[in-house]
């Protein structure tokens, strides 16, 4: 049957059909991708697997009698990357987060001519951070996952993280261990906060217990995701039992070695201080065996042997004694190998940076040294582009590690990147003396915007020399804006952005800039932040963002067809958003200066506050024109999992709302996952800033000081009220894209703020 199907689809010679028949079980997923994304060319591509070390491909023209393109490769992932190389370099089409444009490949396929060779410079090409599964993908359907996985496969990713559905397996393990459903329910966190429960940062939920309907639906989704990952030649990194357990475990097993973890980010004791079953206790190995066995029964025994397992993410160990640290990691790894003799432990290396005072070189060496061989562990150097740890740890003391780009704290959306760091940096690390670097990857917290920095890093994994940024950007823009002719103004806009906004060499302000209007208003501390929540603008807006936006508008005027390109419209909105965000800083500074003038009146403060409200109004109107910038999209995604149950929908909506605002019942991580979204600006940020302006004016009128504590409490209450709302209760909430003319709005923004 497969042989007949291969013949019908590919019109191959008898020899080629025989080859395809013997490998179709491996390549079926790739042929399905072609049919899915290139339906007009379902018979135009032939893939052949060859035996060789590493990941490599050769692209060539098919024999003249058959037409089409042949990709020979050593792995399915390399075949996918070879296909992508042809589509981008010869077909000049691409697939974006905003959707696939691969269907625009010319009907008459461009010839390759001389065969094109490509090879990965590292065996692992990694994607995802544990928290991406909440900041971006918390409410994704399989349709959204399908686009994501095709995007990853074509770019050559072969090691994606796969956390979805974890709670289903964990619940079964804990039930078998004797815990009641009530015990387990008290431990698990809500849908938008599960990553931090998995990390052992938080326990329990606010807004209601996690419904089993959610658990079951996510388990079913994970089966779809894993099937597609393996079809596309990826090896998913699956979760394992970490040791974090409900508090009732101590009562059920009084002799077990269970300690309480540290408090996390100001959460009350009832929601943090998570119980941790120490890995050298025999019960840990029992539960690990149960977890991995159940996971294998659910997904298959050959899906993966790589397991993600993080025990000290922003939580310090119970003891700093090096023998203790070594025994923890040794017990953890022994439990993995007892359950899966081929197990490899994958660890996010964030802890070594975020808690670097605790994690001295001696302690890191002891902890990593508990794993007996170097190829038994993969460390993700999570923040390599700005705060690498591989260089201070002698390449993680020989353990395999992956050079990673950390971006998008909380899914923040400011334009930012360092293209030079993510091209030259990995090459330098790979060639350094004694390097045990084995991969490159993306560990963004939230996958929002700034798509070029993600593309560059994944492409660098297939280039032994640092990518030439200028030529790369030129070809990237040409296939992003698929019009003929492409106005030179579009290229000029990105030449400016790539050499300024995307050339941020200040490590303290890297990882995406947060707009200050997304933060709780106050008189000090909002501007020029660096470090974990950067608001510092590391470029001159007048010579970067302004001319870039003007050039994008000029390009549209030169070729009106650009207005129909979703990626072009997205970029115009995004750059306009950044301009308004930066101008908000100027307006805010003007308001504060006015307020601090001892002679300023209440009316003067009100007038100084008006530009802030104008900017927020313009921002909301602008973002409402594009489906990628809507609060309603986020809320609708959450509510769509409710199966029509309104009380369940309200529960899901609360989770979605709370994450992007208070992040906790009482603002424990207030505004960390803030977003520049229409609807969120008009109904939440605008209300806070108007309240702030009114409060400042009232203190002038009543001759009383600004009470920051009282005002902050007022803001938390406002947030709690907003989080508790049901969609559509208030004005200005958008279910869909508004009818506003985006280009009129962009021109108005330029006229006012350029």
Task: Measure the CA–CA gap between 586 and 197, rounded to whole angstroms.
Answer: 39
What token pair was written down for 345? 């432990």
- Locate tokens 């399989």: which residue? 142
Residue whose entry in the numeric block shows the structure tokens 């009832």: 270
Complete DSSP assignment for 245-298: E-THHHHHSTTS-EEE----TT--GGGSS-EEE-TTSHHHHHHHHHHHHHHHHH
Mean residue pLDDT of the chain comes to: 94
Write the DSSP string, 292-338. Answer: HHHHHHHH-TTS-SEEE--S-SSS--S---HHHHHHHHHHHHHHHHH
Domain boundaries, the chain: 2-119, 124-173+217-241+280-464, 505-538+565-753
Q: Looking at residues 585-601, what average pLDDT do you find?
A: 97
DSSP assignment string, 220-243: HHHHHHHHHHHHTT---BEE---S
Q: How far apart are CA 577 and CA 585, in angstroms?
A: 13
In the sheet that holds 258-260, the strands lie side by side as: 244-245, 275-277, 258-260
The residue-averaged pLDDT of 619-636 equals: 96
**H, E, C per residue of 675-718:** CCCECHHHHHHHHHHHHHHHHHHHHHHHCCCCCHHHHHHHHHHH
Q: Which residues contact 322 (CB under 8 A, 6 or more apart)?
A: 362, 363, 366
Question: Sorting pLDDT into bands at 50, 70 and 90, what band is 8?
Answer: very low
> How many CA atoms does the CB half-sphere of 723 hold within 13 Å?
26
Residue 464 has pLDDT above 50, yes or no: yes
Q: For domain 124-173+217-241+280-464, which CATH number applies: 1.10.150.20, 3.20.20.80, 3.40.47.10, 3.40.710.10?
A: 3.20.20.80
Rounded CA gap, 226 and 207, in Å?
A: 30
Cβ neighbour number for residue 641 with a 10 Å cutoff: 21
Arithmetic mean of pLDDT, 389-417:
96
Reply yes or no on whether the pLDDT at 306 is more than 50.
yes
CATH of domain 2-119: 3.30.379.10
Between 303 and 731, name the one with better pLDDT: 303
Identify the bridge partners of residue 69 per DSSP, sorted by sequence position.
Answer: 45, 61
Mean pLDDT of 36-42: 97
Kindly report the number of other CB atoms within 10 A of residue 276's CB atom. 25
Tell me, what's the pLDDT at 67? 80
Instruction: Indicate the pLDDT class of residue 733, thresholds 50, 70 and 90.
Output: low
pLDDT at 611: 98
411 conformational bin, left if phi > 0, alpha if psi -120 to 50, beta if neither: left
Query: Per-residue pLDDT for 397 more than 60?
Result: yes
pLDDT over 70 at 92, yes or no: yes
238 and 165 Cβ atoms separated by less than 8 Å: no
* CA–CA gap between residue 490 and residue 484 (Å, rounded): 12
* Topology at the third CATH level for domain 505-538+565-753: 1.20.120
- Identify which of 463, 491, 465 has the alpha carbon closest to the alpha carbon of residue 477: 491
Looking at residue 65, what is its pLDDT? Answer: 63
CA distance 284 to 282: 5
Name the pLDDT band for 321 (thresholds 50, 70, 90): very high
pLDDT per position as a tens digit, 534-545:
899 999 999 999
When pLDDT is averaged across residues 670-689 and rounded to a whole number, the result is: 97
Using one digit for the tens of pLDDT, what is the confidence trace for 122-170? 999 999 999 999 999 999 999 999 999 999 999 999 999 999 999 999 9
Question: Can you tell me which residue has the tokens 């030649």?
Answer: 233
Residue burial 390-404, b: 16+ Cβ < 10 Å; e: rest: beebebbbbbbbbbb
Three-state secondary structure call for residue 494: helix
Looking at residue 508, its pLDDT comes to 79
At residue 533 the predicted structure's pLDDT band, cuts being 50, 70 and 90, is confident
CA distance 253 to 264: 25
The pLDDT of 403-432, averaged and rounded, is: 96
User: Once rounded to an integer, what is the mean pLDDT over residues 390-400?
Assistant: 97
- Looking at the predicted structure, is the pLDDT value of residue 19 above 90? no
Inter-helix orientation angle 421-431/451-460, to 10°: 30
What band does 9 get if pLDDT is binned at 50, 70 and 90? very low
DSSP state of 346: E
The mean per-residue pLDDT over the stretch 545-564 comes to 98
Closest alpha carbon to 677 in 668, 686, 669: 686
3-state helix, strand, coil in the chain (%, to 5): 50, 10, 40
**Could you give the CA distance from residue 430 to residue 424 in angstroms, rounded to a whole number?**
10
Give the burial string for 355-384 (b: 16+ CB within 10 Å, else e): beeebeeebbbbbbbbbeebebbbbbbbbb
pLDDT over 70 (residue 12): no
Nearest-angstrom CA–CA distance, 400 and 209: 39
pLDDT at 23 (0 to 100):
45
Residue 15 has pLDDT above 50, yes or no: no
In this predicted structure, what is the pLDDT of residue 730?
61
| Residue 149 near residue 115 (C-beta atoms within 8 A) | no
| Res 732 pLDDT > 70 | no
Are 557 and 730 in contact, with CB atoms under 8 Å apart? Answer: no
pLDDT class of 396 with cuts at 50, 70, 90: very high
CA distances 684 to 502, 583, 687, 731, Å, are: 30, 19, 5, 11
CA distance 672 to 719: 13
pLDDT in tens, 360-383: 999 999 999 999 999 999 999 999
Domain 2-119 matches domain 505-538+565-753 at the CATH topology level: no
Q: How confident is the model at residue 571 (pLDDT cuts 50, 70, 90)?
A: very high
Q: Please tell me the predicted confidence (pLDDT) of residue 63.
A: 86
Q: How would residue 701 be classed by pLDDT, with cut points 50, 70 and 90?
A: very high
Per-residue pLDDT at 13: 32
Spell 642-670 as b/e; 16+ CB within 10 A means b: beeeeebbbbbbbbbbbbbbbbbbebbbb
**What SS3 state is found at 124?**
strand
- Asked if residue 105 lies in contact with residue 87, where contact means CB atoms within 8 angstroms, the answer is yes
Tell me whether strands 159-160 and 124-127 are parallel, antiparallel or unpaired. parallel
Q: How far is CA 230 from CA 5, 79, 139, 341, 414, in A?
A: 21, 14, 22, 21, 34
What phi, psi does 276 have (nearest 5°)?
-130, 120
Would you state the pLDDT for residue 511? 78
Taking the C-alpha atoms of residue 218 and residue 192, their distance in angstroms, rounded to an integer, is: 13
Q: Residue 557, Cβ neighbours under 10 Å: how many?
A: 13
């Amino acid at each position: 049957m497969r042989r007949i199907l291969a013949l019908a689809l590919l019109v191959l010679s008898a020899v080629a059909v025989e080859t395809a028949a013997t490998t179709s079980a491996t390549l079926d997923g790739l042929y399905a991708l072609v049919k899915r994304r290139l339906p007009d060319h379902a018979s135009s591509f032939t893939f052949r697997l060859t035996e060789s070390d590493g990941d490599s491909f050769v692209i060539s023209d098919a024999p003249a009698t058959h037409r089409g393109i042949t990709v020979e490769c050593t792995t399915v992932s390399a075949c996918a990357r070879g296909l992508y190389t042809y589509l981008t370099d010869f077909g000049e089409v691409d697939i974006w987060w905003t959707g696939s444009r691969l269907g625009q490949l010319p009907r008459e396929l461009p010839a390759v001519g001389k065969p094109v060779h490509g090879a990965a410079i590292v065996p692992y090409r990694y994607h995802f951070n544990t928290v991406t599964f909440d900041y971006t993908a918390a409410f994704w359907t399989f349709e959204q996952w399908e686009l994501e996985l095709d995007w990853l496969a074509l770019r050559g990713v072969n090691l994606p993280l796969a956390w979805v559905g974890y709670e289903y397996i964990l619940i079964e393990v804990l039930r078998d261990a004797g815990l009641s459903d009530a015990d387990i329910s008290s431990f698990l966190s809500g849908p938008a906060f599960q990553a931090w429960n998995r990390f052992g940062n938080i326990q329990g939920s606010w807004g209601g217990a996690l419904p089993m309907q959610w658990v079951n639906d996510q388990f079913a989704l994970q089966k779809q995701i894993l099937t597609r990952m393996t079809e596309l030649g990826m090896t998913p990194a699956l979760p394992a039992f970490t040791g974090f357990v409900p508090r009732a475990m101590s009562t059920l097993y009084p002799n077990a070695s269970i300690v309480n973890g540290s408090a996390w980010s100001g959460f009350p004791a009832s929601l943090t201080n998570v119980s941790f079953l120490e890995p050298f206790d025999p019960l840990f190995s029992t539960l690990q065996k149960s977890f991995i066995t159940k996971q294998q029964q659910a997904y298959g025994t050959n899906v993966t042997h790589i397991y993600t397992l993080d025990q000290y993410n922003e939580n310090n160990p119970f003891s700093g004694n090096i023998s203790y640290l070594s025994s923890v990691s040794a017990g953890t790894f022994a439990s993995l190998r007892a359950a899966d003799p081929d197990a490899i432990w994958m660890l996010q290396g964030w802890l070594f940076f975020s808690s670097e005072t605790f994690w001295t070189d001696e302690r890191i060496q002891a902890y990593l040294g508990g794993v007996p061989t170097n190829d038994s562990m993969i460390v993700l150097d999570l923040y390599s582009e700005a705060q690498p740890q591989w260089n201070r740890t002698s390449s993680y003391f020989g353990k395999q590690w992956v050079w990673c780009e950390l971006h998008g704290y909380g899914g923040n959306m400011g334009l930012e990147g360092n293209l030079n760091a993510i091209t030259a940096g990995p090459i330098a690390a790979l060639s350094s003396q004694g390097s045990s670097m084995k991969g490159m990857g993306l560990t963004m917290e939230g996958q929002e915007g700034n798509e070029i920095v993600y593309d560059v890093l994944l492409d660098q994994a297939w280039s032994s020399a640092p990518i030439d940024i200028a030529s790369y950007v030129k070809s990237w823009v040409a296939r992003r804006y698929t019009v003929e002719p492409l106005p030179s103004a579009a290229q000029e806009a990105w030449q400016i952005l790539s050499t300024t906004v995307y050339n941020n060499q200040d490590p303290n302000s890297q990882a995406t800039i947060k707009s200050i209007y997304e933060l709780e208003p106050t008189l000090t501390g909002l501007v020029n932040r660096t470090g974990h929540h950067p608001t510092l603008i590391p470029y001159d807006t007048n010579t970067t963002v302004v001319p870039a936006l003007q050039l994008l508008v000029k390009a549209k005027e030169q070729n009106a067809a650009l207005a129909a390109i979703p990626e072009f419209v997205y970029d115009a909105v995004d750059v306009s958003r950044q301009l308004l965000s930066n101008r908000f800083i100027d307006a805010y500074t003007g308001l504060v200066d006015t307020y601090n003038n001892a002679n300023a009146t209440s009316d003067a403060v009100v007038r100084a506050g008006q530009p802030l409200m104008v900017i927020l109004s313009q921002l909301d109107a602008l973002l409402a024109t594009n489906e990628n910038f809507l609060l309603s999209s986020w809320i609708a995604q959450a509510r769509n999992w409710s199966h029509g149950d309104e009380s369940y929908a309200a529960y899901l909506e609360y989770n979605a709302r709370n994450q992007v605002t208070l992040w906790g019942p009482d603002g424990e991580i207030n505004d960390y996952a803030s977003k520049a979204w229409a609807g969120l600006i008009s109904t939440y940020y605008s209300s806070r800033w108007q309240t702030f302006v009114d409060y400042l004016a009232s203190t002038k009128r009543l001759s009383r000081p600004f009470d920051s504590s009282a005002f902050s409490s007022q803001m938390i209450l406002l947030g709690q009220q907003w989080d508790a709302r049901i969609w559509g209760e208030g004005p200005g909430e958008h279910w869909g894209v508004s009818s506003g003319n985006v280009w009129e709005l962009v021109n108005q923004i330029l006229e006012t703020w350029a």
